[in-house]
Structure 1
Amino acid sequence: MTSVDLARLVLLAAIWGSSFLFMRILSPALGPVIGADVRLLIAGLVLGIILAMRGDQGVYRGRARAYSIVGMVNSGLPFLLFSYAALKIPASYSSVLNALAPLFGALCLWRLDGEPLSRRKMAGIALGIAGVALMSRLGPVPMNIATLSGIGACVVATVCYGWAGVLIRRRAKAIPSLHFAMGTQLAAGLLILPFALINGVVAPPIDPYSPVVVGSAIAIGVLCSAVAYMLYFRLMASLGPTRTLSVTFIIPVFGILWAALFLGESIAPGMLVGALLVVAGTVLVLR
Structure 2
Amino acid sequence: MSAGTGLREYGVFALLALVWGSSYAAIDVGLRELPPLLFAGLRYDAATLFLFGVVLIAGERVLPRERHEWTTVLIGGTFLIAINIGGLFVGQQYVPSSVAAILQSVSPVLTPVFAWVLLDARLGVRTVVGSVLGLLGVAIIGGWEPHWGLPSLGVGVAGDAVATLPNDDGTMVGVAVLFGAAAAFALGSVLLERLPPTLPTTTSQAWMMAVGAIQLHLGSVVLGEPTGELELLRFETVGAVLYLGVVCGAVGYLLYYELLNSMGPVRASVVNYVTPVVAAVIGFLFLGEQLGLAAVVGFVLVAAGFAGMQWDSLVAFQARIDDAYRRREYLGGDRGGESLREAYFGAPDPDEDAEAWEWGPQ
Q: Normalising by structure 2, report the TM-score.
A: 0.75
Whole-angstrom distance in 1 between the partners of 2:173 and 2:225? 25
How far is 1:203 from its partner?
Answer: 5.7
Of 82, 97, 100, the match for 1:91: 97
1:280 and 2:284 are equivalent in the alignment: no
User: 1:173 aligns to what SS in structure 2?
Assistant: coil
Partner of 1:8: 12
Whole-angstrom distance in 2 between the partners of 1:201 and 1:256? 29
1:35 and 2:35 are equivalent in the alignment: no
1:1-287, aligned counterparts within 5 Å? 2-62=6-66, 63-137=69-143, 138=155, 139-197=163-221, 202=226, 204=228, 209-287=233-311
Moved more, 195-204 or 250-259: 195-204
Partner of 2:160: none
How far is 1:28 from its partner?
Answer: 3.1
- Structure scoring higher RCO (CA < 8 A, sep ≥ 6) equals 1
Whole-angstrom distance in 2 between the partners of 1:218 and 1:275? 29
How far is 1:232 from its partner?
Answer: 0.8
The answer as to whether partners of 2:38 and 2:225 remain within 8 angstroms in 1 is no
How far is 1:94 from its partner?
Answer: 0.4
Query: Residues 278, 207 of structure 1: CA spacing in aligned structure 2 closer, same or farther, 3 A cutoff?
Result: farther
CA-to-aligned-CA distance 1:251-271 (integer Å, 9 cap, x gap): 111111111111100122222
Letter aligned with residue 281 of structure 2 = L
CA-to-aligned-CA distance 1:229-279 (integer Å, 9 cap, x gap): 111111111222111111112111111111111110012222212221121
Whole-angstrom distance in 2 between the partners of 1:143 and 1:46? 41
Letter aligned with residue 174 of structure 2 = G
The answer as to whether partners of 1:71 and 1:187 remain within 8 angstroms in 2 is yes
Moved more, 184-193 or 96-105: 184-193
Query: Residues 92, 229 of structure 1: CA spacing in aligned structure 2 closer, same or farther, 3 A cutoff?
Result: same
User: 2:95 aligns to what SS in structure 1?
Assistant: coil
Whole-angstrom distance in 2 between the partners of 1:201 and 1:135? 29
Whole-angstrom distance in 2 between the partners of 1:18 and 1:210? 19
Whole-angstrom distance in 2 between the partners of 1:68 and 1:258? 34
Letter aligned with residue 275 of structure 1 = F
Whole-angstrom distance in 2 between the partners of 1:90 and 1:204? 27
Whole-angstrom distance in 2 between the partners of 1:284 and 1:254? 23
Q: Normalising by structure 1, report the TM-score.
A: 0.93
Query: Residues 140, 53 of structure 1: CA spacing in aligned structure 2 closer, same or farther, 3 A cutoff?
Result: same
How far is 1:218 from its partner?
Answer: 0.5
Whole-angstrom distance in 1 between the partners of 2:101 and 2:196? 27
CA-to-aligned-CA distance 1:193-242 (integer Å, 9 cap, x gap): 33435667756468852011011000000111000111111111122211
How far is 1:161 from its partner?
Answer: 1.1
The answer as to whether partners of 2:60 and 2:200 remain within 8 angstroms in 1 is no
Letter aligned with residue 239 of structure 2 = G
Over the matched positions of the two proteins, sequence identity in percent amounts to: 25
Moved more, 13-22 or 164-173: 164-173
Whole-angstrom distance in 2 between the partners of 1:206 and 1:226? 23
CA-to-aligned-CA distance 1:127-181 (integer Å, 9 cap, x gap): 1122122222323321111001100011101111111111221225222221111
User: 1:230 aligns to what SS in structure 2?
Assistant: helix
Aligned residues: 287
Letter aligned with residue 12 of structure 2 = R
The answer as to whether partners of 1:102 and 1:286 remain within 8 angstroms in 2 is no
Whole-angstrom distance in 2 between the partners of 1:227 and 1:75? 16
The answer as to whether partners of 1:13 and 1:251 remain within 8 angstroms in 2 is yes
Whole-angstrom distance in 1 between the partners of 2:277 and 2:232? 30
Moved more, 131-140 or 11-20: 131-140
